[in-house]
Structures are given as structure tokens and as C-alpha cells.
């Protein structure tokens, strides 16, 4: 009878949440239908294309997610996103479009997840330069530009700035959160082991600041990134890089007047004065009394459509996010799910070549190996090329090593060939709330992977053995994939991160270039030419999948509520930080879980 009531109430709860989800679905459905009935935006003839950069530039295709649909229904703005490939195509197409008379860059990039990294923005800047080859003017209007904005708008012919604006570029920094103090405070035990002197990912959980090897590697990479950035900004302004750096050291942030004197901007204008400038490029819009314009958001669907080809496709497969075991969640690379995408692509007779676009700090060693296996099988059938985005390190390098050719940008962060073991336990946290664990087992190490107690020295030695074996395997695979001696790989491994420029010199990548270069090479190798038709995978996420996943999560969360809710909440808060650490052996090829370069 007890089991009956438990099942009955659980089912009732599920029905309640399902009903709520159905109501939400109906509301969303009507909203979608209403939005679909609205007129499709038209490209105004003789207009200026306005690229509002207030968005995230991500690698993977952009889908209509639940959040986007809700923003549409409720009238909110939400977080805008562009996929890199679509954005580049639109800018290049606009340069050849007789309806477009010029390009205006406004707004400020956002950095959701792994989006809007400098390597991706380098390709955006190059697409703008391609637009300029048409002879059409490119202008930028800045208010509070970040370093990312400055990096892209340096390609403009003319840069205007609001007289009260500020250049919020104060230099570049690399920041990691260190949770050692937090873990101690809340009684979360962390035991780590590693292979590689520079492998710093584990340090985030046990230290309160950078180790010296980590600081050395980070400083070297940052110096390369900063040099490339300075060269771009200085070339756009027509000044020496040292002058810009000196001004930042003197003044911190530059006000509009400073930027004008330095040559970073060409003229200080208010918005009404900018409109007059743009009216001279296009004409006066009689309805809005502004200038004739087309937003890039409207131009994208009007120009970028699915590609068809009887000759075949280059499959562009995106590995964007941390690599986890299993299917993975939104913003993660699931080992099983991505391996399945690669497998289906290589089994598709229409796919003649493959480009793996990697923008990942790595993660589970097992998941990385599952993905790499499919990459190697694909290579037996077709050319396989890797395009490294802003971040392709550790497990991200693991899945790249066997490609026929690897492209990276000078400001790609790569390498980190090393392995760590990370093990959390909640013994102290649970004890604080009156929860104790007791165990019976059949063998001495039956509870080795449990999270309810700390591991003994003997058990940590056993874990270190696993870490060393995986590290040896990592070195061997890189050596084999790159055609290097294992000893040579060992010298540049040790978990050390490298810039794309250094990685080229070390033999870890083959050529500096972006996603477009990788696609062109893959297409040529497959006999499809340098502008092949492209099939992007995984496909953009469907909002219905997102909706039903959210309803299921709500139901599961509700079933956990009860007298132990305070402890459950504490446990979830702590375990959320380690959710990406789901390798069954506790062994990872991963960068520190958060990295910020600004």
C-alpha cells in the first residue's frame, strides 16, 4: 500500500507539471504562429546594412530555443546570437549585393559561454575587410567599446564615437576562479592528482591563487595574444603599438577626446549627427526620418539559406563547450552525442570531407577518446580537417590530433596536453547536517569512486596510476597523429597552454587560419572546390526539445522536495560546480573550468 501511494502521488505530481508544461506549450505555439504571420523583413534597396554587435558570436548554428521563443511571445529582447559561419557569409554576400550601399557597425559584443572569443572575432573582422573590397564604405559608431569591439571595428574605414563615450579597453587579463577557500569553508572535500607540471585545472579546486608554473604559462600566452591585438589596433589607427600601450598605462580607460587625439576614432558625433552621415550614404527614410537601413538580423534569413549540392558536402561538425561523458547538456560536448554525429556523417555518402570545429577547454578523458575514435574512422574514408576556435585545449586537442590538417588562429589557446584526476567528497558537509554514511562491501576498493568519504593514500596512489596511464596514452596519440616522437611531445606537453602562433612553431598545428580556410582546404581535397556546399552538424536546437526538457527537469526537481530540502539544496549548490566532472574514472584532460580573457 505504501508503494501504491508513493507511485500515485509521484504520478499526480508529474501530471500537474505536465499540465503546466502543456499550457506553456500552447501559449508558445500561439506566439510562434503569430510571429510567423508577421511580414518577412525586406531588404531595403539602397540601404546601409546595420550590424548591431550586441550579440554573442558562437561557432555552432543558432536555433530557435525556448528562451528565444519566450522572448518573442512576451516581447522581450533576450540574448541575441549569431553563428560564425552565417555571419561571415552574410557580410560577404552584402558586399556583392547591389541593394546594400554601406555597412555600419554599432553595439558591443557579449560573451555568453565560449562565444565571441578573439579567434572567432578575427574571422568576423576579415569578413568585414572582404566587404570593404567592394568599395562600399564601412563605418563604426562607438559609445563604450570593449577590447572585442575595438578589435573588430579596427577594420572600418571611418570610426565615429559619442563625445561622452569611453574606450573600456584597459588591457588584457586572464582570470581563473580559485575555490580552495570555498571548498574548505563549506566542507567539500577535494582530492586531486595530475600528470604534467603545468596542468592547472585541478588547482582551481584546491588553491587560492596561481601556482608559479601556471602563472608562467598564462603570462606567455597572454603576451602573444596582446601582441596580436596591439598590432591590429595600431594598424587601424596608423600608430605604433607601443604608443597605445603607453596611453593605457598612463590613463587606464581612454575617454572620447583621448581616443580622437590618439587616432583610434576619426570624429566625435552625437546620434543625430551620425544619422545625417548615414543619410549621405543611403538616403532619408521618409517614414522614420532616419536613414534607409536594413538590420543584419533581417538580412541573414534573406540571404543565408540551406545549401544543396549533387556533388556532395563538407560536413562541418561543431565541438563547442566542455567535453562530458554521455549525451551532455546545452553548452556541453557530449562524448556519445558528438561521436554519433561524426559516425552518421562518415556513413553518409553525400559527405565527402569533414571539418571538425573545436572550441572547447576539454573535459572527460573517456569522452574525448570516444570522439577521437570516430574522427579516426572518418579519416579512413575522407579528408578530415580541424579548425580550432578561440579555445581548443586539453581534451579539445585530444579530439583534434589525428586530423589530416589542423588550422588555428594566432590567438587560439591550445595545447594543455596533460591529465588530472579530481574527486569530490561531501563527508564533512553531510556530517554538518547530521547525515552519516555506513558501508558494507565485497572488495577492499568497492567504494573507491564514492563521494561520501575521502580517499586513502593507497587509493590516491591507485588513481595516480590511472592518470599516468592516460597521460602516456595522450602523449602517444599526439605523437602518432602529428608524426612526432613521443619524447618531443613530452617536452611541449606537461599540461602547458600555448598560443596558436607558438603551436605552429611547435608542430601542434599545421597552418594559421580560420574556419573558412579549413572548409576551403577540405573542399579542395575532396574534389568539391574551395567553395563547397556545407552541411552543419549538430543541427540547431529545436525549441520543442528545449521546452520538454525543461518540463521534465521541473518534475524531477519537484519529486526531490521534502524534509531534507535544505541539505538537498546545499548538495546541489556544491555539486553544480563539479557537474562537468563526470568521467567514470575521474580522469580529465581539461583546462581550468572557467577562463576569461579580456
Pairing of strands 166-167, 158-161: unpaired
Q: Report the C-alpha gap between 597 and 225 in whole angstroms.
A: 9
Q: Cα dist. 143→63, 146, 251, 352 in Å? A: 30, 10, 18, 46
Pairing of strands 419-425, 254-255: unpaired
Question: Cα torsion for 528, 376, 195, 335, to the nearest 10°?
Answer: 90
Q: Positive or negative CA dihedral for 228, 232, 233, 239?
A: positive
The answer to whether residue 585 is catalytic is no
Sequence-distant (6+) residues with CB within 8 A of 128 are 91, 103, 105, 138, 152, 155, 156
SS3 of residue 92 by DSSP: helix
Sequence-distant (6+) residues with CB within 8 A of 146 are 108, 109, 168, 169, 598
- For the purposes of burial, counting CB atoms within 10 Å of the CB of 8, is it exposed (0-12), middle (13-18) or buried (19 or more)? exposed
Pairing of strands 174-175, 596-597: antiparallel
Contact 415, 396 (CB under 8 A): no
Note every long-range contact of 549-557, with CB atoms under 8 Å and residues 24 or more positions apart, other chains counting.
550/21, 550/66, 551/17, 551/18, 551/20, 551/21, 551/24, 554/17, 554/20, 554/21, 555/13, 555/14, 555/17, 555/18
291-301 burial: b if 16+ Cβ within 10 Å, else e: bbbbebebbbe
Q: Which one is catalytic: 122, 199, 247, 541?
A: 199
Sheet containing strand 267-268, strands side by side: 267-268, 158-161, 138-142, 100-106, 47-52, 293-295
Q: Report the C-alpha gap between 137 and 157 in whole angstroms.
A: 6
Q: Report the C-alpha gap between 516 and 511 in whole angstroms.
A: 13
Contact 128, 155 (CB under 8 A): yes
Question: Cα torsion for 420, 425, 428, 433, to the nearest 10°?
Answer: 140
Contact 55, 77 (CB under 8 A): no
323-362 burial: b if 16+ Cβ within 10 Å, else e: bbbbebeeebbbbebbbbbbeebbeeeebbbbbbbbbbbb
Q: Which one is catalytic: 322, 394, 400, 499?
A: 394
Q: At what angle do helices 515-525 and 84-96 cross, to 10 degrees?
A: 90
The answer to whether residue 455 is catalytic is no
**DSSP letters along 477-496, please?**
HHHHHHT--HHHHHHH-TT-
Q: Report the C-alpha gap between 503 and 223 in whole angstroms.
A: 14
Q: Where are the alpha helices (DSSP H) in 186-306?
A: 203-206, 212-237, 241-251, 256-262, 271-281, 296-303
Catalytic residues: 199, 394
Amino acid at each position: 500500500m505504501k508503494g501504491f501511494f508513493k507511485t500515485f502521488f509521484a504520478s499526480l505530481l508529474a501530471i500537474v507539471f505536465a499540465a503546466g508544461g502543456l499550457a506553456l506549450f500552447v501559449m508558445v505555439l500561439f506566439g510562434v504562429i503569430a510571429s510567423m504571420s508577421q511580414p518577412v523583413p525586406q531588404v531595403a534597396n539602397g540601404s546601409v546594412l546595420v550590424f548591431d554587435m550586441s550579440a554573442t558570436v558562437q561557432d555552432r548554428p543558432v536555433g530557435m530555443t525556448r528562451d528565444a521563443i519566450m522572448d518573442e511571445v512576451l516581447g522581450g529582447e533576450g540574448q541575441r546570437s549569431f553563428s560564425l559561419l552565417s555571419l561571415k557569409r552574410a557580410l560577404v554576400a552584402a558586399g556583392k549585393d547591389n541593394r546594400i550601399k554601406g555597412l555600419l557597425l554599432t553595439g558591443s559584443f557579449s560573451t555568453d559561454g565560449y562565444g565571441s572569443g578573439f579567434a572567432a572575432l578575427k574571422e568576423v573582422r576579415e569578413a568585414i575587410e572582404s566587404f570593404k573590397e567592394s568599395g562600399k564604405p564601412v563605418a563604426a559608431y562607438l559609445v563604450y567599446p570593449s577590447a572585442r569591439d575595438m578589435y573588430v571595428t579596427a577594420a572600418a574605414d571611418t570610426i565615429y564615437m559619442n563625445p561622452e563615450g569611453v574606450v573600456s579597453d584597459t588591457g588584457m587579463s586572464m582570470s581563473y576562479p580559485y575555490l580552495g577557500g570555498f571548498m574548505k569553508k563549506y566542507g567539500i572535500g577535494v582530492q586531486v592528482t595530475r600528470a604534467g607540471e603545468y596542468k592547472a585545472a585541478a588547482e582551481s579546486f584546491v588553491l587560492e591563487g596561481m601556482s608559479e608554473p601556471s602563472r608562467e604559462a598564462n603570462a606567455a600566452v597572454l603576451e602573444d595574444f596582446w601582441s596580436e591585438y596591439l598590432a591590429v589596433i595600431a594598424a587601424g589607427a596608423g600608430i605604433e603599438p607601443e604608443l597605445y600601450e603607453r596611453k593605457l598605462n598612463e590613463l587606464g580607460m581612454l575617454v572620447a577626446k583621448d581616443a580622437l587625439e590618439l587616432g583610434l576614432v576619426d570624429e566625435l558625433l552625437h546620434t543625430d549627427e551620425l544619422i545625417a552621415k548615414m543619410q549621405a550614404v543611403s538616403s532619408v527614410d521618409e517614414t522614420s526620418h532616419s536613414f534607409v537601413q536594413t538590420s543584419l538580423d533581417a538580412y541573414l534569413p534573406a540571404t543565408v539559406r540551406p545549401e544543396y549540392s549533387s556533388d556532395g558536402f563538407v560536413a562541418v561538425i561543431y565541438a563547442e563547450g566542455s567535453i562530458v561523458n554521455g549525451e551532455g547538456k546545452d553548452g556541453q560536448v557530449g562524448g556519445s552525442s558528438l561521436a554519433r554525429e561524426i559516425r552518421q556523417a562518415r556513413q553518409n555518402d553525400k559527405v565527402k570531407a569533414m571539418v571538425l570545429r573545436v572550441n572547447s577547454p576539454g573535459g572527460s578523458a573517456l569522452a574525448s577518446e570516444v570522439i577521437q575514435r570516430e574522427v579516426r574512422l572518418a579519416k579512413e574514408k575522407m579528408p578530415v580537417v580541424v579548425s580550432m576556435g578561440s579555445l581548443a585545449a586539453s581534451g579539445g586537442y585530444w579530439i583534434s590530433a589525428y586530423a589530416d590538417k589542423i588550422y588555428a588562429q594566432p590567438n587560439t589557446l591550445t595545447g594543455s596536453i596533460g591529465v588530472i584526476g579530481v574527486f569530490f567528497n561531501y563527508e564533512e558537509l553531510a556530517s554538518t547536517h547530521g547525515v552519516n554514511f555506513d558501508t558494507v562491501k565485497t572488495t577492499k576498493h568497492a567504494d573507491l569512486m564514492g563521494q561520501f568519504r575521502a580517499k586513502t593514500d593507497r587509493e590516491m596512489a591507485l588513481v595516480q596510476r590511472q592518470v599516468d596511464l592516460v597521460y602516456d596514452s595522450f602523449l602517444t596519440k599526439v605523437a602518432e597523429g602529428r608524426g612526432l616522437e613521443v619524447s618531443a611531445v613530452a617536452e611541449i606537453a606537461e599540461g602547458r597552454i600555448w598560443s596558436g602562433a607558438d603551436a605552429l612553431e611547435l608542430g601542434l598545428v599545421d597552418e594559421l587560419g580560420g574556419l573558412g580556410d579549413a572548409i576551403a582546404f577540405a573542399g579542395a581535397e575532396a574534389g568539391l572546390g574551395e567553395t563547397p556546399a556545407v552541411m552543419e552538424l549538430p543541427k540547431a536546437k529545436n525549441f520543442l526539445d528545449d521546452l520538454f526538457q525543461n518540463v521534465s527537469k521541473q518534475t524531477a526537481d519537484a519529486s526531490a522536495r521534502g524534509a531534507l530540502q535544505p541539505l538537498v539544496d546545499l548538495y546541489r549548490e556544491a555539486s553544480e560546480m563539479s557537474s562537468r566532472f563526470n568521467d567514470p574514472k575521474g580522469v580529465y584532460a581539461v583546462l581550468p573550468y572557467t577562463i576569461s580573457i579580456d
